[in-house]
Amino acid sequence: MEQHQTKLFEAATQNSITSLQQLLIDDPLILERALVNRFNETPLHVAAMLGHVDFVREIIGLQPQLVNELNSQLYSPLHLAAAKGHAGVVKALLSVDNHACLGRDRNELLPLHLATTKGHIEAMKLLLEARPEATMVKACGGENILHLCVKSYRLEALKLIVTSLKPVVDFINCGDNDGNTVLHLAVAEKQVEVVKYLVSVSAVQVGMKNDDGLTAMDILIRSRRDLRDSEIEYLLKHGDKPAKKKAKKNSWNGLMKKHAVWLEKEKHILMVVASVIATMAFQAGVNPPDGLWKKHDVPKNATGAIDPNVTLEYSTKFYIWNTIAFISSLSIILLLTSGLPIRRRLFMWILMVITWITISAIAVSYLITIKYLREIEGGHDPFKVGDPQVYTLLVWFLLMFLLLVCHTVRIVVKLFKKLRNGCIKCTRSLC
């Protein structure tokens, strides 16, 4: 008997129908015994995997129950034929019993899943026609068949599934166990062509959020930057419409986009900087520079007049500006850890203003200390007209002022445009 079983498998391997018929003459129950061997490979598994259509048709005609037999990996013959892309074998097996379309293997995958991940379009068409509901069955991790298409880089398979689904709205926006839609995955994998196709499908919701509250655009911003990001960003914002005339590279729009990307990716660095400034300001507050809060007789003018209140005046100024730097740096830390949408222009502007105040306050504290220490040493005023330090200070404050004004004007103009557009829409709706 064992020798007959060996010859049966050899016949399946060689696609020899003649050998099969001879074995059936010698042992009419040889195919019945194949049904008894649970969790073992059957001759039909071997023939289906190798794509021997004629042998498959012959054996299922004699023993159709072999179609639903499973091997040790819970693969049915249909699993193996679909994974290998043997469309003829898939068609023959489905003609006997298409229930195997819904059978799961050890990895909880259907034959349609295996054909999809391998990109076998013809086999997919046959499976979809036999059991359309197989597309709704999720794999492990809550992934549907569209997720598998993207993870396997199968654009044509994705298009076939989307066009065969009716309706497609809920399914194409369905998330996995982490809430990631197929668009989230495509953006994370930087698959430009897939993103381009998905945004062209009207049912796809570009602003859909995953369980972490992230949209596809958020995924793009948080990912490692490369040359494809600008195209993906355009697709997410404008769909698959052709790009109009590009704006100048140095436009404010481009600067703000670059700033948004920089801010999102370098947020932890800004956190470290703010923490360092807060530490410096705290240490300077509880342990001020030597002599700043001590009583000295400081000459106030060239005549040598002494004013003992000068020390108190300098220490008060230093205390005020150092406190501003300390509170501002703590505000930056609070804003970065608050979970607010820092990418929004308003919050970016607020963070920029606070950062500007923090750095300027630290600079002023430093200048106050230097001025005081130089005065008590020799009565020399380091900030008189003509001193290089005066011009350096003026340039610093001018630069900070210009940056603040430019960003503020841009924010105001943006808000004004939105208000104007809103008024126009309201007027049109009333008319």
Average pLDDT over residues 213-241: 86
Q: Which residue has the higher pLDDT, 74 or 3?
A: 74
Long-range contacts of 411-417 (CB under 8 A, 24+ apart): 411/345, 411/346, 411/349, 414/345
pLDDT of residue 302: 46
According to the model, what pLDDT value does residue 197 have? 93
Q: In this structure, what are the phi and psi dihedrals at residue 118, rounded to the nearest 5 degrees?
A: -95, -10
pLDDT at residue number 270: 76
279 to each of 284, 330, 356, 366, 370, how far by Cα in Å?
9, 10, 18, 15, 20
Question: Which tens digit of pLDDT belongs to each residue from 18-75?
Answer: 898 888 888 888 888 777 765 578 899 999 999 999 999 999 999 999 999 988 889 9
Residue 405's pLDDT is 81
Question: Please, what is the Cα angle at 146 between 145 and 147, to 5 degrees?
Answer: 90
Judge whether residue 249 has pLDDT over 50. Answer: no
Would the pLDDT of 339 be above 80? Answer: no
Cα–Cα distance measured from residue 192 to residue 153, given in angstroms and rounded to the nearest whole number: 11
Average pLDDT over residues 301-306: 46
Do residues 351 and 335 touch, judged by C-beta distance below 8 A? yes
Show the domains of the chain with their CATH numbers.
1-137 (1.25.40.20), 139-246 (1.25.40.20), 261-430 (no CATH)
Work out the mean pLDDT of the chain and round it to a whole number: 80
Could you report the per-residue pLDDT of 278-294, keeping only the tens digit for each? 888 888 777 776 655 55
**pLDDT at residue 199 tops 50:** yes
pTM over 0.75: no
pLDDT, tens digit (0-9, with 9 covering 90-100), for 225-236? 778 888 998 899
69-97 pLDDT, tens digit per residue, is 988 889 999 999 999 999 999 999 999 98
Supply φ then ψ for residue 167, to 5 degrees: -80, 165
Q: Which residues contact 280 (CB under 8 A, 6 or more apart)?
A: 325, 362
**pLDDT higher than threshold 50 for residue 364:** yes
Q: Which residues contact 184 (CB under 8 A, 6 or more apart)?
A: 175, 208, 210, 214, 216, 219
Percentage of the chain lying above the pLDDT 70 cut: 76
